[in-house]
Structure 1
Amino acid sequence: MACGRRKEGERVRAVYYWNTAFRIDSLKRDFLDRHQIGKIYVRYFDVVPDESGGFPMPNATIRIDSVPADLNREIVPMVFILPDALDCDRRRLADMILRRVKQMSETHGMGTVTELQIDCDWTRSTRDDFFDLMQSLKDMTAKDGITLSSTIRLHQLAGSPPPADKGVLMVYNTGDMRDIGKEKPILDPDDVMPYLKYIKDYPLPLVSAYPIYRWDLLFRNGEFVDIMHSDDDLPVLQSDSIVVRQPSITDIIRCRREIESRRPECADEIILFDLNNFNIKRYDKQNFEDIFN
């Protein structure tokens, strides 16, 4: 049974799972147990435009080999949508997303779907299309008693919220990774603070998500080349620079305190991005407790 229940009013500790295969090994299981993680947001698939001009299609679907029978955590399906995929019959797209998510959860024993989260980096030009999709999804999920949540990027706080029951404020990717002089592109409190003037009156219930990952960035002649995901996935010249960027626990905690001083409800659920073995080893066990507490 993958789905766990929590007491009303209890603070929630959660993680994102963003890998292409769902696998809870002993290291991840120990992390979930040790830090009392009650909720896992799992990216099920992406929605991308059809290259031949047809209807948008699912892509990069997660492979679910097996779910531990005693996992006993709430699993929240998450779908990432490219803005270019919104130019379609959005009610049909909403129906496709919801049906596929339910089918995947049932087939793989991920538990009853009680919440669905949509992630889309919408902008002013794609806002209306995204909100239209979300309204269709909200109508459909409401009939099934499913909570609909949406990721909210910091710059989106200045505008109206999408039709949703809940927003997750993404407190990461705050700076330009392509700037070799930017020392804190993942999370810089100085980049976060200007947006917090909008958070108090933002008319959508909010929780917050914080980064525990790092970037290894390849620069050539001072120009950004790409993110290095392993030591040998990109050709590296002798004159190149590999710059490591990782958020500090101090900055994560500072941002959390600043956010919660303006929106105390953001403390009701703290989400870490994301659950993988490299990130688990990146910080001390007490560091994770400090973030959650």
Structure 2
Amino acid sequence: MRLFTWLVILIFLGMGCKQAPRNVITPAFYYWKQTWDTNNSQQTVLEQLPAKRLYVKLFDVTTTGDNNILPVAVLRTKAPLPKDLEIVPVVFLMNEIWAHADSTLVTKVAELVSQQCANISNISEIQLDCDWTQTTRKAYFNFIEQIRKHPFFRHKTISATIRLYQLKYAAKAGVPPVDKGLLMCYNMGDMRKAGEHNSILDLNTLQSYIGNNTISRYSLPLDIALPLFEWEILFRQGLNYEGIVRNVDVLDPSVFSKTSTQLYTVKKDTVLNGYKLRQNDVIRHEFIDATTLKQASKLIAKQLPHGNRAVIFYHLDSLILRNYPLNELQETIQIFN
């Protein structure tokens, strides 16, 4: 009898020592370019990560000078989208449209999404991306409620992007009427501010937004998006914000001198790729290295409740991916397990 009792005790102890089931993490990428075509280096990363899902921007919705609302940057596919990945269509809605939106907008957007998805099978999720504010939330949230009733959207998971300030100030910003959110863990600083700082991702800024439990208290389940991109920002005479410049080689010593970790000063007046650069203008190079990416992931992951979620890298670009060894991306994904 004693032996039987001890066996029962050991069985219960063994059951109590079992580890909780691990989260199921779905590795994914955003594809934000206007044209999709086959690309061997991108395909290799998708296969070896391995990615399970691809979030593809179909088009932007914006306003014209006469306040008409229309789609722009509509996706063109020169090759089929990957058949072995779950495709999530994404629509980017400019915040400015809500001042001019009418009752026809829902139908126009829904029908264009349906047309763009004609050759995509088994769509289970559609994502809406909008940087809404307290003043536009009513119009945007109403749009979401109405488009969910459209036949193409009905019975699908509807997700919405959540910026960090919308997370922190959820009481003012409101929570969109969707099934789940996608927390954008980038573009958190003031890119117009001169000097040496990183507006894409800064650990102190991230911590100020998420605090100790802001993520865990949010009322929607959250997927996570992390930055894999870089940009250069031009400041006239090092002070006045001029905007993002593209395809400018700041490492060209004939044009620039490196004055700090991020800052490059123009040596003489010149025109480079159509940009008129003046002597003493400054370009700030912003980039997120793999170490910072993993540190940010740890801050985020420790607040996430147990559950399955996607971890999405923004964005799929063969040039950018050269900066991130595959094992670094895999280790970043593992942080969320």
- TM-score, length-normalised on structure 1? 0.89
Shift of the 237–267 alpha-carbon distance from structure 1 to 2, 3 Å rule, reads farther
Greater Cα offset, 209-218 or 136-145: 136-145
Check if 1:151 corresponds to 2:168. no
Percent of pairs with identical residues: 28
| Letter in structure 1 aligned against 2:70 | M
Q: Residues 19-58 of structure 1 correspond to what in structure 2 (within 5 A)? A: 19-54=33-68, 56-58=69-71
**C-alpha deviation, 1:15, in angstroms:** 0.5
Check if 1:207 corresponds to 2:223. yes
Q: Distance in 1 between matches of 2:307 and 2:295?
A: 14
**Cα pair 1:208 1:267 within 8 Å, conserved:** no
Check if 1:277 corresponds to 2:310. no
| Letter in structure 1 aligned against 2:224 | S
Aligned pair partner of 2:233 in 195, 204, 217:
217
Check if 1:235 corresponds to 2:248. no
Deviations 1:130-171 (A, max 9, x none): 111111123336973211000000000121310101100000
Q: Distance in 1 between matches of 2:140 and 2:196?
A: 31
Shift of the 65–142 alpha-carbon distance from structure 1 to 2, 3 Å rule, reads closer
Q: Distance in 2 between matches of 1:254 and 1:184?
A: 15
Check if 1:87 corresponds to 2:103. no
Aligned pair partner of 1:177 in 191, 203, 206:
191
**Cα pair 1:28 1:276 within 8 Å, conserved:** yes
2:268 match: none
**C-alpha deviation, 1:278, in angstroms:** 1.5
Shift of the 175–141 alpha-carbon distance from structure 1 to 2, 3 Å rule, reads farther
**C-alpha deviation, 1:10, in angstroms:** 3.7
**Cα pair 1:208 1:266 within 8 Å, conserved:** no
Q: Distance in 1 between matches of 2:130 and 2:159?
A: 11
1:97 match: 109
Q: Distance in 2 between matches of 1:74 and 1:138?
A: 20
**Cα pair 1:94 1:137 within 8 Å, conserved:** yes
Greater Cα offset, 225-234 or 115-124: 225-234
Deviations 1:70-102 (A, max 9, x none): 641111111111112123555532222222112
Q: Distance in 2 between matches of 1:277 and 1:98?
A: 31
Greater Cα offset, 279-288 or 161-170: 279-288
| Letter in structure 1 aligned against 2:76 | R
Deviations 1:171-227 (A, max 9, x none): 001111222324221101111112214222111110110001011122221222221
**C-alpha deviation, 1:281, in angstroms:** 0.9
Instruction: Give the RMSD, CA atoms, in angstroms.
Output: 2.0
**C-alpha deviation, 1:30, in angstroms:** 0.5
Check if 1:187 corresponds to 2:216. no
What secondary structure does 1:139 align onto?
A: coil
**C-alpha deviation, 1:122, in angstroms:** 0.7
Deviations 1:9-51 (A, max 9, x none): 7420010001110123101100100111111111100111243
Q: Residues 108-123 of structure 1 correspond to what in structure 2 (within 5 A)? A: 109-123=119-133
**Cα pair 1:150 1:164 within 8 Å, conserved:** yes
- TM-score, length-normalised on structure 2? 0.78
2:264 match: none
Q: Residues 233-272 of structure 1 correspond to what in structure 2 (within 5 A)? A: 233-265=274-306, 268-272=309-313
Aligned pair partner of 1:64 in 72, 77, 88:
77
* 4+ runs deviating over 6 angstroms: none
User: What are structure 2's unaligned runs of at least 5 residues?
Assistant: 1-22, 249-272
| Letter in structure 2 aligned against 1:81 | L
User: What are structure 1's unaligned runs of at least 5 residues?
Assistant: 1-8
**Cα pair 2:110 2:152 within 8 Å, conserved:** no
Q: Distance in 2 between matches of 1:110 and 1:265?
A: 31
Deviations 1:243-281 (A, max 9, x none): 211112222222222222111357721000001111111
Greater Cα offset, 267-276 or 117-126: 267-276
How many residue pairs get aligned? The number is 281
| Letter in structure 1 aligned against 2:301 | E
**Cα pair 2:27 2:53 within 8 Å, conserved:** yes
**Cα pair 1:180 1:224 within 8 Å, conserved:** yes
Q: Distance in 2 between matches of 1:284 and 1:177?
A: 27
What secondary structure does 2:66 align onto?
A: coil
What secondary structure does 1:199 align onto?
A: helix
Deviations 1:47-78 (A, max 9, x none): 11243344x2111111111215x641111111
Check if 1:138 corresponds to 2:148. yes
